[in-house]
Structure 1
Amino acid sequence: MDRPPPAAAAAAFAGDADRVQSARRLVTASSNPALDRLAELAARLLGAPAAQVSLLSDVQTISAAVGSAAEGVAGPGQPTPLADSLCTVTATSAGPLVVTDALADARVSGLPPVTSGAVRAYLGVPLRGQDGHVVGALCVFGPDVREWAGSDVSLITALASSAVTELELSALSVDLEAVRVRHQLAVSAGGVGTFDWDLGTGSLTWDENLLQMFGYAADDFGRTIEAFNGRVHPDDRARVTRALQESIDTVGPYEAEYRIVLPDGTTRWVRAKGQSLADESGRAARVLGAAYDTTAARDEDARIARVLESMSSAFFSLDREFRFSHVNGEAERVLGRSRADLLGGSVWELFPEAVGSEFETHYRAVAETGVPATFEAFYPAPLNAWFEVRAWSDPDGLSVSFLDVTERMRAQRALEAAHAATADAAERLRLIVRVSEDLSSTLDVEEAYARLAQHLVPALGDWCLVTLVDEDGGLRDLGCQHADAARRDLVEQYREARLQALESSSYLFRVWRTGQPTGVAAGATESIAAQLAPGSTARELLERLAPQAFECLPVRARGRTVGLISLFHDRAADRLSAEDLLLATEVGDRAGLALDNARLYSQQHRVAEGLQRSILTPPVQPDHVQVAVRYRPAARAARVGGDWYDAFLTPDGATVLVIGDVMGHDIDAAAAMSQVRSLLRGIAYSTGASPARVLSGLDAAMEGLDVGTTATAVVARLELSGERTHVRWSNAGHLDPLVVSPDGSVRSLDSGASELLLGIDPTAARSDHVAVLERGCTVLAFTDGLIERRDIPLEERIALLRSVVADLAGQSLEDLLDGVLERLVPGEHEDDVALLAFRLHPLEGDRPAEAGPERVPRGLPPVR
């Protein structure tokens, strides 16, 4: 029970009426080509197979998507439930949702896009409207595991801001856009318009499409160049006239893009291409050509330009001749040139140092192959900077996104220089890594702490001792090492004898009391021997070891001394330098923190497990029913606390059996479990109600008493009717128990459709189910810690459990539970496990010996 069910989170998210209305407003205006380009841009910039923009009202609507739509991922315009969407998880997160491996991430592992294999790596950011509501998400994803860099998160966050801006602009202008689109469709339906200008007569002939494009009726068009100029925007007229005149003078091509002003004041963009034709004398006699409306493309380009302009990273586009065709503001700043200087210019001429460099190699390779490239390269003066560059091909040429990473590269180069400066420095770093890895590789930190001596010798001393400060305040020499293998037995003997012989004023005890390091620069044998009991074995061994220099360092954690390190040197000249002393202190601090963490872990584990076990009281043992229980805590303290079992009698003599799992772990979960268990006990005992009514009452009590948790549970009631035993049960979202028949066959105590967990909706309907059990039947109930594993499908684990139970069906009830635990949770495990089983013994005769003695409360009526 590691997280709330997606359905509950989605329901709460969809329940915000203001947020849903805000999202729906944008859904109506989300058919925006710029969003498709934005999704494509996100996929390209982040090198992801797929990207999408989703709006989340009471359903998910994909407004834009790019990449192959694999099974389990809906396409644009197809509404999907919020509970099935990774974007819902993104929208309900505090910030970006970064998922390296979705199958291993509990937040999303159960969602359809993940289980279908369509999504393995995912990066998404919430889209927040101007009113502050989260209205959707922008995400990139792919079917393979991927580590996302910090720059990836920054880039998609910048794009998300642009997407929201574009959606808001579209929503504000939706009515005007509808009018414009209708007009555009009318013009497009007419096709391309053509013109023929006779330079001798001055007659200008337009076809019907061109007349409609320029807003002329056939009778109103004067068939002159003046009629054309009358529609051209005043700011563009001189430029268009020059282009026409140049075509005439050179008897060459004509090309221009310009604005026209229609009679109703609307401005449109038109692109025209033509050719002057010569007469017999070689002079231009007429100009023929065609024109078409480019307003939509212009608007789309403007939207994309706004997106690119809002990016925090630099961006430019190159045409197929490697000339600048677009530059955003950040690129102007980084490159140190204005748009006017860059646009239309060749990248090789404007930046000659790029010729023959990695920049040219990668740019040309991407242009030729279409395969995107990411690389780092240095550009000399005048930029004098390192850049991280991403380049990809597009229909018009090449797109490039780049970041100035000079500071990072300088730091990296400085670090590399520092590493290369001295082999000793590198070895010191490796020593810290080795110690950290050793201390973190095992839960038995005392053992790893004892091995610390092997890391310190010979790096920091000829031999050493590692001492532990016990929780009760005593000292223990745990580990030792000597660089000379022939003398290790001697050091081991000294380790065993030293503490008993040391005086309380010794260096070791002084460092323990003060937490300050100390040492002897020369004559260490005499100085230390004076602190050992005369005639002791320790003094004799020390004199044979004969150290000349010595340091004693405290191992500290959270402001207290948890251990001590004693370093010995055969020569005084080999005593620790100031730098080596800092290294030894760093190693000691890391060891101390690991040691203290292990102790805190152990304390927490003992407290949580003790609380859990104190709550789980022994079950009743009615005459005809044998009940057996098991509780196994998790290997990690943070996972102890949520599972419980119970078995008790009600005043009417019925036996009630319960298995449950409270969401969460550790002491808080154990406390919440105690509340839920006690409430259930009280309701069942005082009311004698059916399991379904008990669970409904528990749900109401949890809400009324503000028990802030959710839980699963199965409540079963055994009712004896003559020679037959009925089991009446109700299941609140828990795993179905197993029934083992006397012949060894195994089936599920299946209640059909799963009912809602406890703690979500106290009004939820709950159902009772009844089954007749013959004598000799065994019922096994369990919590999810028994079968759930991150790397194995749940169905496989359930099948394994059924097989194990069938194999052990002939065993006693106690042996059955022990065998199940041994085979399904051997060794360390991540979650705690609770088991409850009961077996129906024959009514005639005495209670079997294997069932143990009967145990029921006094004063209750006979069990029935």
Structure 2
Amino acid sequence: MAQREFRQREGVAPRADATLAEFLETMPAAFCVLDARWRFRYVNAEAERLMGRPRARLEGESLWEVFPDLVGGVVETGYRTAVATGHPLTFEASFPGGREGWFEVRVWPGPDGLALYVLDVTDRRRAEDAARRATARAALLSRVSAELSGQRDTLSALGRLAELVVPVLADACIVTLVDREGRARDVGSWHHDPVRRPLIDRYTQVRLATLPGTSPVAQALQSGTPVTESVGAVLRLMPDGPARELLAALAPETAVVLPLTAGSRTVGVLTLYQDRGRGTTDEDMDTARQVAAEAARAIARVHRHSQQAQLAEALQRSLLTDPPALGETDVVVRYVPAAEAARVGGDWYDAFLQRDGSLVVVIGDVVGHDTAAAAAMGQLRGLLRGIAHYSGAGPAEVLHGLDEAMARMHEQTLATAAVARFECDGSGGGVLRWANAGHPPPVVLSPDGTVTVLGGMLGDLMLGIDPTASRTESTVPLPAGATVLLHTDGLVERRGSTLDEGSAALTAHLRELAGRPLETLCDGVLHRMLRGTPEDDVALVAVRLARAPRE
């Protein structure tokens, strides 16, 4: 007591109080003191500026009455937790209804109330946020590049592009492609809000049919330049109907449409939707343009591959002629190209008559999957046909002649082939004479539904390895109405399945299809075995002998 009185008489305490007051008034952080009833007891100058109210009006007022927007939020939770536990607490928050930004809040509870220290950390938070967004944008570009350049199925990767873009660049995204005929179609969409994903999915199914020519999407497609527009303006352009209702339900604030340009063509658009309160920075737009450029290059590759596939398929089909007309004996041929663009290869079929009138059918496959294999196939097919027609020889001798010719004229070519000659007896039946050079074996389907696989699974040595190799020729009787099927390996080989399993499946399907017209049987076999577009080319030739005449 005496010491305190001495300091007061000598003026020590007043000078300390003045120094403390000056420090609090000039400190760059807001500082205030609340009593046990949450009323302001002290507010420094920075707190006055931060709260935007004169301290004379704040002192003695309840925090919750002056700032009702704080009730129920993270600030109230933090303050009351500190008071309840009696421990200091630090957290970061923004203040609803107050100054925009982020603040570090430190709370010290005491027996008579609460001391608050508030420091503006907006610049730090913005720097950290900018760094996070920059990292996210870099990761996005890397992933987009990997997805679009590394996928065998580029169209599927483009459909998933919207999932990559959201939420890094937008709250929602739609990817639109334009095919070589100029038709636009939406191939992918995504929304950051799971509740709205079904809405945007339905919107993509109907929007292109109803968007007017003045819409941002139409403008970007026509001009090849980016278009930014408020969604409110877009809604005013759209006619009443499901598309307008769905866009209104999605409720984005703005739409940014970026053209996907390859050369001089616009091959699609990327539509980015931003919800209310989200802005698009220059860095975001630069990243979006890079994503659009990567997508455009991917679409251009799809177009090139499609064009190459069409040209290659046209080449291969041009080398496969129609079978001869044989009266009551039916001959059906089929060729199905592979799913992968430009995977045209060396599969071929043939059916022709030798000089004595015997029907010869051939199935073959040149090793390789490119236009070179298709060209080699055309030459081998012509060679085999010429050898068989001129010589009149049986299947084994025809294959031997082709093997010898390949050794001299096509020494770098490898191929498999099966040749079958039908020797009819005049009563509808006859004998099938056949030879196999490393090809899947012929299959015979009897009128009663019995299926017979001829020979082993591989046959003799394939063509192009040893022209002196011996060739085995076999015969099998054929009843009237029998069907003989020759096919390439693409019909029975599948990734994840064995050749034996594929052959067993073919046998089962032939039994089920027995008795159907030959065209129907061939189409049914392809439908059941391929389940869509095959991984490899498929060729087949089927012959059905005339049924025995009724007595």
Partner SS for 2:378: helix
Q: Structure 1 stretches of 5 or more lacking a match?
A: 1-417, 513-517, 847-864
How far apart, CA to CA, are the structure 2 residues paired with 1:747 and 1:482?
Answer: 56
**Is the CA contact (8 Å cut-off) linking 1:624 and 1:840 kept in structure 2?**
yes
Name 1:778's counterpart in structure 2: 483
Equivalent in 541, 545, 551 of residue 840 of structure 1? 545
Instruction: After TM superposition, give the deviation of residue 663 of structure 1 in Å.
Output: 0.8
Instruction: After TM superposition, give the deviation of residue 648 of structure 1 in Å.
Output: 1.1
Deviation sequence 1:481-507 (CA, Å, 0-9, x none) = 777878968987875554522699966
**Is the CA contact (8 Å cut-off) linking 1:467 and 1:565 kept in structure 2?**
yes
Equivalent in 710, 733, 740 of residue 414 of structure 2? 710
How far apart, CA to CA, are the structure 1 residues paired with 2:379 and 2:128?
Answer: 58
How far apart, CA to CA, are the structure 2 residues paired with 1:666 and 1:455?
Answer: 34
Name 1:391's counterpart in structure 2: none
Equivalent in 206, 209, 213 of residue 500 of structure 1? 213
Bigger CA drift: 583-592 or 501-510? 501-510
The amino acid across from 1:576 in the alignment is T
Normalised to the residue count of structure 2, the TM-score between the two structures is: 0.62
**Is the CA contact (8 Å cut-off) linking 1:525 and 1:546 kept in structure 2?**
no
**Is the CA contact (8 Å cut-off) linking 1:608 and 1:637 kept in structure 2?**
no
Instruction: After TM superposition, give the deviation of residue 658 of structure 1 in Å.
Output: 0.8
Equivalent in 339, 342, 361 of residue 657 of structure 1? 361
How far apart, CA to CA, are the structure 2 residues paired with 1:507 and 1:752?
Answer: 58
Instruction: After TM superposition, give the deviation of residue 590 of structure 1 in Å.
Output: 3.5
Equivalent in 449, 452, 461 of residue 747 of structure 1? 452
Residues 549 and 636 from structure 1, CA distance in 2 versus in 1: closer, same or farther, beyond 3 angstroms?
Answer: closer
Partner SS for 1:670: helix
Name 2:180's counterpart in structure 1: 471
Equivalent in 423, 436, 460 of residue 169 of structure 2? 460
Name 2:436's counterpart in structure 1: 731
Partner SS for 1:817: helix
Name 2:508's counterpart in structure 1: 803
Name 2:303's counterpart in structure 1: 599
How far apart, CA to CA, are the structure 2 residues paired with 1:462 and 1:705?
Answer: 63
Instruction: After TM superposition, give the deviation of residue 755 of structure 1 in Å.
Output: 2.2
Instruction: After TM superposition, give the deviation of residue 584 of structure 1 in Å.
Output: 1.6
How far apart, CA to CA, are the structure 2 residues paired with 1:474 and 1:806?
Answer: 44
How far apart, CA to CA, are the structure 1 residues paired with 2:268 and 2:461?
Answer: 52
Name 2:286's counterpart in structure 1: 582
Q: Trace 1:316-335 onto structure 2 (pairs within 5 A).
A: none
Name 2:75's counterpart in structure 1: none
Residues 463 and 496 from structure 1, CA distance in 2 versus in 1: closer, same or farther, beyond 3 angstroms?
Answer: farther
How far apart, CA to CA, are the structure 2 residues paired with 1:645 and 1:424?
Answer: 58
Q: Trace 1:151-166 onto structure 2 (pairs within 5 A).
A: none
How far apart, CA to CA, are the structure 2 residues paired with 1:452 and 1:751?
Answer: 49
How far apart, CA to CA, are the structure 1 residues paired with 2:134 and 2:452?
Answer: 65
**Is the CA contact (8 Å cut-off) linking 1:477 and 1:499 kept in structure 2?**
no
How far apart, CA to CA, are the structure 2 residues paired with 1:720 and 1:423?
Answer: 80
How far apart, CA to CA, are the structure 2 residues paired with 1:428 and 1:735?
Answer: 52
How far apart, CA to CA, are the structure 2 residues paired with 1:462 and 1:584?
Answer: 13
How far apart, CA to CA, are the structure 2 residues paired with 1:754 and 1:464?
Answer: 56
How far apart, CA to CA, are the structure 1 residues paired with 2:377 and 2:547?
Answer: 35
Asked if 1:765 corresponds to 2:474, the answer is: no
Partner SS for 2:460: coil
Q: Trace 1:260-409 onto structure 2 (pairs within 5 A).
A: none
Name 2:33's counterpart in structure 1: none
How far apart, CA to CA, are the structure 2 residues paired with 1:622 and 1:486?
Answer: 63
Asked if 1:685 corresponds to 2:398, the answer is: no
Instruction: After TM superposition, give the deviation of residue 757 of structure 1 in Å.
Output: 1.6
Partner SS for 1:719: strand
Residues 556 and 825 from structure 1, CA distance in 2 versus in 1: closer, same or farther, beyond 3 angstroms?
Answer: same
Residues 473 and 826 from structure 1, CA distance in 2 versus in 1: closer, same or farther, beyond 3 angstroms?
Answer: closer
Name 1:825's counterpart in structure 2: 530
**Is the CA contact (8 Å cut-off) linking 2:309 and 2:344 kept in structure 1?**
yes
How far apart, CA to CA, are the structure 1 residues paired with 2:502 and 2:272?
Answer: 52
Residues 736 and 449 from structure 1, CA distance in 2 versus in 1: closer, same or farther, beyond 3 angstroms?
Answer: closer
Instruction: After TM superposition, give the deviation of residue 816 of structure 1 in Å.
Output: 2.8
Deviation sequence 1:264-287 (CA, Å, 0-9, x none) = xxxxxxxxxxxxxxxxxxxxxxxx
Deviation sequence 1:368-407 (CA, Å, 0-9, x none) = xxxxxxxxxxxxxxxxxxxxxxxxxxxxxxxxxxxxxxxx
How far apart, CA to CA, are the structure 2 residues paired with 1:751 and 1:442?
Answer: 35
How far apart, CA to CA, are the structure 2 residues paired with 1:472 and 1:744?
Answer: 47
How far apart, CA to CA, are the structure 2 residues paired with 1:459 and 1:817?
Answer: 51
Instruction: After TM superposition, give the deviation of residue 784 of structure 1 in Å.
Output: 1.0
Asked if 1:666 corresponds to 2:370, the answer is: yes
**Is the CA contact (8 Å cut-off) linking 1:558 and 1:593 kept in structure 2?**
no
Which one scores higher on RCO, CA 8 angstroms, separation ≥ 6?
2
How far apart, CA to CA, are the structure 2 residues paired with 1:813 and 1:505?
Answer: 50
Instruction: After TM superposition, give the deviation of residue 574 of structure 1 in Å.
Output: 1.0
Partner SS for 1:726: strand
Residues 795 and 511 from structure 1, CA distance in 2 versus in 1: closer, same or farther, beyond 3 angstroms?
Answer: closer
How far apart, CA to CA, are the structure 1 residues paired with 2:153 and 2:441?
Answer: 34
How far apart, CA to CA, are the structure 1 residues paired with 2:509 and 2:373?
Answer: 30
Partner SS for 1:779: strand
Residues 475 and 686 from structure 1, CA distance in 2 versus in 1: closer, same or farther, beyond 3 angstroms?
Answer: same
How far apart, CA to CA, are the structure 2 residues paired with 1:778 and 1:573?
Answer: 69
**Is the CA contact (8 Å cut-off) linking 1:552 and 1:565 kept in structure 2?**
yes
**Is the CA contact (8 Å cut-off) linking 1:457 and 1:482 kept in structure 2?**
yes
How far apart, CA to CA, are the structure 2 residues paired with 1:574 and 1:706?
Answer: 65
**Is the CA contact (8 Å cut-off) linking 2:224 and 2:261 kept in structure 1?**
no
How far apart, CA to CA, are the structure 1 residues paired with 2:135 and 2:368?
Answer: 44
How far apart, CA to CA, are the structure 2 residues paired with 1:807 and 1:568?
Answer: 54
Instruction: After TM superposition, give the deviation of residue 716 of structure 1 in Å.
Output: 1.4
Name 1:618's counterpart in structure 2: 322
Residues 495 and 657 from structure 1, CA distance in 2 versus in 1: closer, same or farther, beyond 3 angstroms?
Answer: closer
Residues 801 and 419 from structure 1, CA distance in 2 versus in 1: closer, same or farther, beyond 3 angstroms?
Answer: farther
How far apart, CA to CA, are the structure 1 residues paired with 2:398 and 2:191?
Answer: 68
How far apart, CA to CA, are the structure 2 residues paired with 1:482 and 1:734?
Answer: 52
Instruction: After TM superposition, give the deviation of residue 737 of structure 1 in Å.
Output: 1.0
Deviation sequence 1:181-215 (CA, Å, 0-9, x none) = xxxxxxxxxxxxxxxxxxxxxxxxxxxxxxxxxxx
How far apart, CA to CA, are the structure 1 residues paired with 2:311 and 2:517?
Answer: 32
Residues 752 and 502 from structure 1, CA distance in 2 versus in 1: closer, same or farther, beyond 3 angstroms?
Answer: closer
The amino acid across from 1:801 in the alignment is L
Normalised to the residue count of structure 1, the TM-score between the two structures is: 0.41
Q: Structure 2 stretches of 5 or more lacking a match?
A: 1-126
How far apart, CA to CA, are the structure 1 residues paired with 2:511 and 2:377?
Answer: 31
Instruction: After TM superposition, give the deviation of residue 698 of structure 1 in Å.
Output: 1.7
Partner SS for 1:565: strand
Residues 685 and 458 from structure 1, CA distance in 2 versus in 1: closer, same or farther, beyond 3 angstroms?
Answer: same
The amino acid across from 2:380 in the alignment is V
How far apart, CA to CA, are the structure 2 residues paired with 1:495 and 1:777?
Answer: 54
Please tell me the root mean square deviation across aligned C-alpha atoms, in Å: 4.5
**Is the CA contact (8 Å cut-off) linking 1:788 and 1:794 kept in structure 2?**
yes
Equivalent in 619, 629, 634 of residue 333 of structure 2? 629
Partner SS for 1:789: coil
**Is the CA contact (8 Å cut-off) linking 2:220 and 2:259 kept in structure 1?**
no
Q: Trace 1:174-185 onto structure 2 (pairs within 5 A).
A: none
Partner SS for 1:827: coil
How far apart, CA to CA, are the structure 1 residues paired with 2:311 and 2:214?
Answer: 37
